[in-house]
Structure formats: C-alpha cells, structure tokens
Amino acid sequence: MKKLITVTALMLSALCSISASAAEGDVGVAATMDDRYCTTCHGADGVGNLAIEAPRLAGMEGWYLKRQLENFRAGIRGTHAEDIPGLEMQPMAEKLSNESITDLVDWIGGWEYVPAAVTVEGNDRQGRTAFQSCAACHGANAEGNEALGAPALAGQNDWYLITQIENFRSGVRGSHQDDTFGAQMVTMSKTLRDEQAILNVVSYINTLQK
C-alpha cells in the first residue's frame, strides 16, 4: 500500500508539472495540444495502468469519455475523500475547455483498441446469472447502450470494474446530486451482495471480450 501511494504521488507530481504548461482559462478557451497528457497515466497505448488505477481508454466510447471528463471538470466525480484516483483525475479535467475535451475525445478515438488482460478469477457461471440485471442497460454482451447512457463493460480492465462497482456500492461514486447515471448505478450495485458476487460478475464480463 505504501508503495502504491508513493507511485501515485510521483505520477500526480508529473501530471501537475505537465498541466502547468497548459492554458488556464474557462470553458470558452480554445483547445490546446498541451492538454494531451492522458498517456502519462493511462499508458502510451491507452490500455490502462493498474499501479495507479488508471483504466483503459483505448476503445472507450467517445460519448461516455466526454461525459466523464465533464463530470470530473464539474466536480460531479472525483471529489469524494476516499476516491484517490478520482481526486487525482479531477484537477486534470478541471482546466479543460469544451474544445479541449472534444480534441481529447477525437484523439483517443484514434487509438487502437486492445482488450484488457484478465487479472481476476471468480465463478463466471454464477456471475452470468447476476449479470442479467446489468444487461438491461449495458447489453447482453456488455457492449454498452448509448441511448441508456450505459458504457461498454466488455474489454475494460477487470480490476477497474471491481473498484467502480465497490465505489458505487459504498457511495464513493454516484452520490453527487447531479450524477443521474451514477445514482442508477448505486442502486443496481447493491444487488450484488458481497465481494464474491462482484468478482463473479466481473469474471463473467471477462468472458464477453472479443
């Protein structure tokens, strides 16, 4: 744990140094290439970084990425005291203009999608049963549903999915009054009774990767 905190602190320091060179301004400021520092934490190929809990971005839907960047910028996400990765991400997004967010979404959209490595193992058969509730929004194959505001889950880092489900269950994420979609996830996440149930669902989602 101490090592993880140290690594996280170093990465945050590096990010702050990079972002200091970018224009300050508000949402009306033009996009700047200086805002393209996502790879510092999320990896040069955008596949995610377990050491600092930065998820895969390559292949993520543009509409969902845009919403999350806007949520971080507005403080709807990334302000809970127990959300350490979120607290690191929030100031990175806070300085972005609308143009910068559009530029980042377009840039990331050009990255090659590579399914995340499987790092957890649970009872995927039991997870399949529990996933039926998730499928109502995220799709039978966890492919996501833009109309319902539900992102794809298949192919995402399994350790990240576990963390986010736990965050929703505990109110670390989704408790902000303006986070409508997050509030829905808070309710749904509580249908998973314990850590084993979460592990089982994520293990099943791993089987849906293409």
Residues 6+ positions from 7 with CB-CB distance below 8 Å: 51, 52
**pLDDT on residue 28:** 40
Fold match, 2-22+35-109 / 124-206: yes
Confidence tier at 32 by pLDDT (50, 70, 90): low
pLDDT band at 18 (very low <50, low <70, confident <90, very high): very low
The architecture CATH gives domain 2-22+35-109: Orthogonal Bundle (1.10)
Please provide the CATH number assigned to the domain covering 124-206: 1.10.760.10
Cα–Cα distances (Å) from 178 to 74, 104, 147, 183, in that order, read 10, 23, 19, 9
Q: 47-84: per-residue pLDDT in tens?
A: 999 999 999 999 999 999 999 999 999 999 999 999 99
- To the nearest whole number, what is the mean pLDDT of the chain? 87
Inform me whether the pLDDT recorded for 93 exceeds 50. yes
Reduce the DSSP state of residue 192 to 3 states and report it. coil
pLDDT at 169 over 50: yes
Supply the pLDDT for residue 104: 96
**Domain residue ranges of the chain, discontinuous segments joined by +:** 2-22+35-109, 124-206
Half-sphere exposure of 57 (CA within 13 A, CB side): 27
Which of the four pLDDT bands, split at 50, 70 and 90, describes residue 11? very low
Instruction: Determine the average pLDDT of the residues in 143-160.
Output: 97
Which residue is associated with the tokens 């808070």?
186
